[in-house]
A and B are shown apart, each in its own frame.
Chain A
Amino acid sequence: MSNTAEKALKGGSFLVDELTPDQMFVPEDLTEEQQMIAKTTQDYIQNEVLPHMETLEKQDLELTKKLLRKAGDLGLLGADVPEAYGGLGLDKISSSLITEKFALARSFSLSYGAHVGIGSLPIVLFGTPEQKQKYLPDLATGKKFAAYALTEPGSGSDALGAKTTAKLNEAGTHYILNGEKQWITNSGFADVFVVYAKVDGDKFTAFIVEREFPGVSTGAEEKKMGIKASSTRTLILEDVPVPVENVLGEIGKGHKIAFNILNIGRYKLAVGCVGAAKRVLEVAVRYANGRKQFNTPISSFTLIQNKLANMAIQTYAAESSVYRTVGLFRDRMDNLTEEEINDGAKVAEAIAEYAIECSLNKVFASEALDYIVDEAVQIHGGYGYMQEYEVEGAYRDSRINRIFEGTNEINRLLVPSQILRKTMKGDLPLLQKAQTLQEELLMLMPEEPGDAPLDQERYLLKNAKKVFLMVAGLGVQKFGKNLEHEQELLANVADIVSNIYAMESVITRTQKAIDKTGLEKNQQKLLMTEVFCQEAFQKIEALAKESLLVIEEGDNLRMMLSALRKLTRFTPSNVVAKKRAIAQNVMKAETYIV
């Protein structure tokens, strides 16, 4: 089975390699079983949770626990827990589908996500067999609930700057923990906390802390802008004795756990954003079809159609990118051998492989959703500002996604720094590629793409990758080690990379669909791909231009700008007309449709 893991694409390799349709997982590949899992989740959310949304938003934590236990009865809490520890050990696609469907229940899905994701996964991935045996069966069934405690008042993005301390007692049996962890999701009812603290002042370490341990308490519920159904409190640790066998992973190696759990948290967050985006689009198009002004449904106005089309396109791009990434995780994580699974270092390696993709998805999907909820409110007009309307809550709930699991700024900075690291380690042949490109740029002849479906988009993608190489290469040349101080430039590079990843995801997904069921049945996908690629490419061009102005000057600048012009020359199409056509299909289906 490990062949598959080896066959799995390398993280970041999309920048240099071409992706073939058979290498990419697409939602059209879902098995019957996976669809059934999605349906059960959706039915559970619709019938058991949504009728109670109002009560949940008033933070009825008993109800939250009750509903989570019901989810446990259906097996929904055990997807990522191995069978040997009372879970189902499902593939990563299935567990992502569950996450996507949970997003329908808005902030209730955070209670779920914090429990099964960042709460339970550290034990699943890095626990000893004894720790797994002790905690996982109860967590997988909802007998107990988990939370994750990393952030502190003084350390957010700078997670390793934590002040919480752990000191081994004289008998050597317990670590004594002291400190405060802030904004801990599920803290109002969680039984088990994964807590980070520093041993001997500098050894960042993860611990499994039970609520029942003496000295553990929580503060008052935070009053938040949104996600009101979730419990968010401070976790207070006062001389808490934690048995030495509750050290998670190795002393001083807590950062490995923290960063990799963040990676997983990021792609899962992106999956949730896709679920929310689909729902919000559905609500918006139904409203637009039903609401009449000037005696006509407002969806007949092309400015509204334009919004609906943009929302659909963003959703398509986010969904395609996210499931592509989940597919990568499946290929790598689901095929670890028993031995490798028990070796935390191997697990961490497998997750870290896709750190770039996780950051890209987190940023792209959270910003897509934020754009979508904003337009959904706009389509609702004044009603969208009223609490009786679902989009009002969706709008507030969306905002946090750009902040937690690493702010989008931190995630943007991570992208180029990870790419650079991989390049320096020799994992990515970017230097060679950049050299070839330099020669190519000197005698660049404009190419004419073919006129078969997706020919133009593939051409744009190919050139976008060259633009990335040019800008990143010049940036490294110019700034060298000081590049890290050029944050605006780094963010531009991240955005170029992000658009490349999304372009490639929609092109390849659409190609795969056309290969499978023909052009006729995939018109919507093709239209959305065409519009997305054109607009993404134009953004890439603008970002590259701004970046060149930062990096170069004088003749060099003029030369590079001229090369950029050649690389970005293409014949654009009328996206306004295409968006109308896309909107018509969305309006007819009254939901997200591909």
Chain B
Amino acid sequence: MNIYVLMKRTFDTEEKIVIENGRVSDDGVNFIINPYDEFAIEEAIKLKDAHGGEVTVVTVGSEDAEKELRTALAMGCDKAVLISTEDVEDTDQWSTAEILAAYFKDKSFDIILGGNVSNDNGTGQIGPRLAEKLGIPHVSTIVKLEINGNQATIERDAEGDTEIIEASLPLLVTAQQGLNEPRYPSLPGIMKAKKKPLEVLELDDLDLDEDDVEAKTETVEVFLPPKKQAGRILEGDADSQAKELVRLLKSEAKVI
């Protein structure tokens, strides 16, 4: 089976967000594999264990992501590909999907797995956009995956309910929490990882020009959520409390 995983390098979920010059500062921040992509990696390795084949993990971004790719290799992926966008001024989800589509153009694959969203931008667009460009079916937020021959039986999280979907390969799926428990890279895995191939591609290698993938969107402003205010306890009997609550929701919070 030819298995591909899309991986993004993101902020450690425990990092404090600091905004500097209108951007989220990454000074001294810890980076990790996007947690949803970790589910995808784990599932890919399980598929390989069950059906044989090869897992290739692909990322688009800065060359610093080599570290996270090595971690994926240490978990059990066989090959890694880093498509460097260091020469591009600004990229967005459109750019990333465009680059991935160019990469997959001449690849043969049975399944592509990715995370449902990234824990930084959280748009959840890459998977669906890529599937659309490749002209293959996609199922998002999956929590269970079984493959039999050419058929996939999938459970997906539909806002708390479970939807059961059957789809045929080739297929793209995005992972939701609950799909599996990602393994830690074992020490033997870590030792093996350094000998596994990690290919770095420039946009040139994909016949793309920087201008072809410049972001279509522009970030106008970045700001932190407002500081949580102290709660307020309403006084009086239930009736007057309810009245006061409605008044506050209308006049202060302006939500009704």
- Residue positions of A touching B, CB distance < 8 A: 32-33, 35-37, 39-40, 43-44, 73-76, 78-79, 88, 90
Contacts and interface: CB of A to CB of B under 8 A. Distances in A.
Contacts of B70: 32-33, 36
A44 to B, nearest CB: 6
A37 B190 contact: yes
Interface in B47-75: 67, 70-71, 74
Contacts of A78: 187
Given A32-B67, A32-B70, A40 B191 contact: no
28 contacts: A32-B67, A32-B70, A33-B190, A33-B191, A33-B193, A33-B194, A35-B67, A36-B70, A36-B74, A36-B185, A36-B190, A37-B187, A39-B71, A39-B185, A40-B185, A40-B186, A40-B190, A43-B184, A44-B184, A73-B186, A74-B186, A74-B187, A75-B186, A75-B188, A75-B189, A79-B187, A88-B191, A90-B187
A36 B186 contact: no
Nearest to A73: B186
Contacts of B74: 36
Contact residues of B: prevailing secondary structure:
helix
Interface of B: 67, 70-71, 74, 184-191, 193-194
Most chain A CB within a 10 A radius of its CB, from B70, B184, B194? B184
Complex A-B, nearest 4 residue pairs according to Cβ-Cβ distance, in ascending order: A75-B187, A74-B186, A40-B184, A36-B190
Contacts of B189: 75
Given A36-B71, A36-B190, 4 more contacts: A33-B190, A40-B187, A76-B187, A90-B187
Nearest to A48: B184
Contacts of A79: 187
Among B67, B70, B185, the most chain A Cβ lie within 10 Å of the Cβ of B185
Nearest to A89: B191
Between A36, A74, A75, the greatest number of chain B beta carbons within 10 A of the residue's beta carbon is seen for A36
A38 B100 CA distance: 32
Given A32-B67, A32-B70, A36-B71, A88 B188 contact: yes
A166 B186 CA distance: 42
Nearest to A36: B190
Chain A interface main SS type: helix
Contacts of B188: 75, 88
Contacts, number: 40
Contacts of B185: 36, 39-40
A383 B188 CA distance: 43
A292 to B, nearest CB: 13
B14 to A, nearest CB: 10
Nearest to A35: B67
A76 B187 CA distance: 7
A323 B41 CA distance: 34
A96 to B, nearest CB: 14
A32 B191 CA distance: 11
A560 to B, nearest CB: 49
Nearest to B181: A47
A44 B183 CA distance: 10
A35 B30 CA distance: 12
Contacts of A39: 71, 185
Contacts of B194: 33
B223 to A, nearest CB: 21
Contacts of A36: 70-71, 74, 185, 190, 193
| Most chain A Cβ neighbours within 10 Å, of B67, B71, B189, B191 | B191
A39 B38 CA distance: 15
A521 to B, nearest CB: 9
A78 B193 CA distance: 18
A484 B71 CA distance: 54
Contacts of A74: 184, 186-187
A32 B71 CA distance: 10
Contacts of A40: 184-187, 190
A32 B185 CA distance: 13
B77 to A, nearest CB: 14
Most buried by B among A37, A40, A73, A78: A40
Nearest to B70: A32
B41 to A, nearest CB: 14
Contacts of B67: 32, 35
A76 B74 CA distance: 15
B187 A88 contact: yes
Nearest to B190: A36
Nearest to B188: A75
Nearest to A79: B187
Contacts of A35: 67
Contacts of A32: 67, 70
Contacts of B186: 40, 73-75
Give the interface centre of B186, B188, B189 by most chain A CB atoms within 10 Å.
B186
A489 B193 CA distance: 53
Contacts of A90: 187
Contacts of B190: 33, 36-37, 40
B195 to A, nearest CB: 11
B57 to A, nearest CB: 15
A44 B186 CA distance: 10
A39 B184 CA distance: 9
B213 to A, nearest CB: 28
Contacts of A76: 187
A85 B187 CA distance: 16
Nearest to A521: B28
A43 B187 CA distance: 13
A458 B187 CA distance: 40
Nearest to A589: B28
The CB with the most chain A CB atoms within 10 A, among B186, B187, B189, is that of: B187
A516 to B, nearest CB: 16
Contacts of A37: 187, 190
Contacts of A73: 186
Nearest to A76: B187
B28 to A, nearest CB: 8
A35 B66 CA distance: 13
Nearest to A44: B184
Contacts of A43: 184
A74 B185 CA distance: 8
A78 B187 CA distance: 9
A342 B71 CA distance: 35
B36 to A, nearest CB: 17
A40 B193 CA distance: 14
Nearest to A34: B190
